[in-house]
């Protein structure tokens, strides 16, 4: 594992870049959208009836103005967002009892005994305020703990057998080039390490033992792609990284209306 991470610090390869029309968006317009609209529109954890960015672009300026000045469409106080937006995880802790771990967008995580008609074994609240899609795209688990990225930024870990919170590491965006917050992308765990991508474009690796930051890489930058397409990373708000064959694969710039768009697939490998 140490060899793997030592190599990650020194090598990053862009293997493919998709063509994109994102450059046509003005920075000012995108920032305005992120500040005022992205909580609902284009957010996978937002209200289900909220049109995404593509649909909003089809509206006239007058229609947008009327909608934003109608409290029924854009209420100042959002309702709770408590559904389960990610796949559950099935694990067997050391006591031998099979546990199904299900995360809610509210920031709650539930452990169910699948051999006892889904009886609740434990529940854990990962955040102080339950709302706004705190756990969205999916967690990860090893034989001891579960790991979840959080909408308010950071990663949290709970005991697989009991649901007791082991650690919670807040987001550190001091090195970010994009001033956006949140880690709603699915996380990925390997022995000793959990990977998480953020809306600020930072790909980070945390110790599964205590949550300390082991490694990070800012993907929100321009790259030279192997297929000669103009390439730029951006926000990481949906799919998580994949570890296979001694390499780490991560997409950067895929967003749901909000965030900073990009078009790259990055591969980190050993020397």
Confidence (pLDDT) at 67: 64
> Residue 227 and residue 263: Cα distance in Å, rounded?
12
Residues 22/261, Cβ–Cβ less than 8 Å:
yes
pLDDT for 74 equals 62
DSSP labels for 125-167? E-SSS--S-SS-S--EE-SSEEEEE-TTS-EEEEETTT--EEE
Structural domain count of the chain:
1
Q: pLDDT at position 150, please?
A: 86
Sheet holding 202-207, edge to edge: 188-190, 193-197, 202-207, 213-218
Burial 109-125 (b: 16+ CB within 10 A, else e): bbbbeeeeeeeebbebb
- CATH code of the domain containing 116: 2.40.128.630
What's the pLDDT score for residue 70? 57
Expressed as residue numbers, the domain containing 83 is: 2-268
- Give the span between the Cα atoms of 256 and 258, in whole angstroms: 5
Q: Which long-range contacts (CB under 8 A, 24 or more apart) does 222-228 make?
A: 223/14, 223/17, 223/264, 223/266, 224/14, 225/14, 225/15, 225/16, 225/17, 225/264, 226/13, 226/14, 226/15, 226/16, 227/16, 227/17
| pTM, to two decimals | 0.73
pLDDT of residue 50: 67
* CA angle centred on 82, ends 81 and 83, rounded to 5°: 105
pLDDT value for 2? 46
Q: Which residues pair with 155 in a beta bridge?
A: 149, 169
- The pLDDT value recorded for residue 7 is 42
Pairwise CA distance, residues 99 & 214, whole Å = 29
Q: What is the pLDDT along the chain (271 residues), one digit of tens a residue?
A: 444 444 454 444 555 666 544 443 444 555 566 556 766 666 655 565 566 666 767 677 666 666 666 555 566 666 666 767 778 999 998 888 899 999 888 888 999 999 999 999 999 988 776 555 567 788 999 999 999 998 888 899 999 999 999 999 988 767 667 767 788 889 999 999 999 999 889 999 999 999 999 999 999 999 988 888 889 999 988 888 999 999 999 999 887 656 788 999 999 987 6
Report how far residue 104's alpha carbon sits from residue 84's, in angstroms, rounded to the nearest whole number. Answer: 4
Distance CA 205, CA 220 (A): 17
């Amino acid at each position: 594992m140490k060899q793997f991470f030592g190599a990650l610090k020194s090598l990053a390869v862009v293997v493919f870049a998709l063509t994109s029309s994102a450059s046509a968006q003005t920075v000012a317009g995108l920032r305005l959208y992120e500040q005022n609209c992205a909580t609902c529109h284009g957010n996978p954890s937002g209200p289900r009836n909220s049109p995404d960015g593509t649909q909003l672009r089809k509206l006239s300026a007058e229609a947008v103005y009327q909608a934003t000045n109608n409290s029924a469409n854009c209420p100042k106080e959002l309702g709770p967002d408590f559904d389960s937006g990610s796949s559950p995880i099935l694990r067997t802790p050391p006591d031998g009892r099979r546990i199904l771990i299900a995360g809610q967008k509210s920031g709650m995580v539930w452990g169910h005994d699948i051999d006892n008609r889904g009886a609740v074994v434990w529940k854990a609240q990962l955040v102080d305020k339950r709302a706004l899609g705190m756990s969205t795209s999916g967690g990860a688990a090893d034989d001891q703990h579960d790991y979840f990225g959080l909408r308010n930024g950071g990663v949290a870990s709970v005991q697989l057998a009991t649901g007791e919170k082991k650690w919670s590491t807040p987001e550190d965006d001091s090195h970010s080039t994009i001033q956006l917050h949140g880690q709603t992308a699915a996380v990925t765990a390997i022995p000793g390490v959990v990977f998480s991508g953020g809306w600020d474009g930072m790909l980070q690796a945390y110790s599964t033992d205590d949550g300390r930051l082991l490694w990070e890489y800012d993907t929100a930058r321009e790259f030279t792609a192997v297929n000669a397409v103009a390439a730029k990373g951006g926000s990481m708000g949906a799919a998580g990284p994949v570890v296979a064959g001694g390499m780490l694969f991560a997409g950067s710039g895929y967003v749901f209306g909000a965030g900073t768009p990009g078009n790259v697939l990055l591969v980190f490998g050993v020397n």
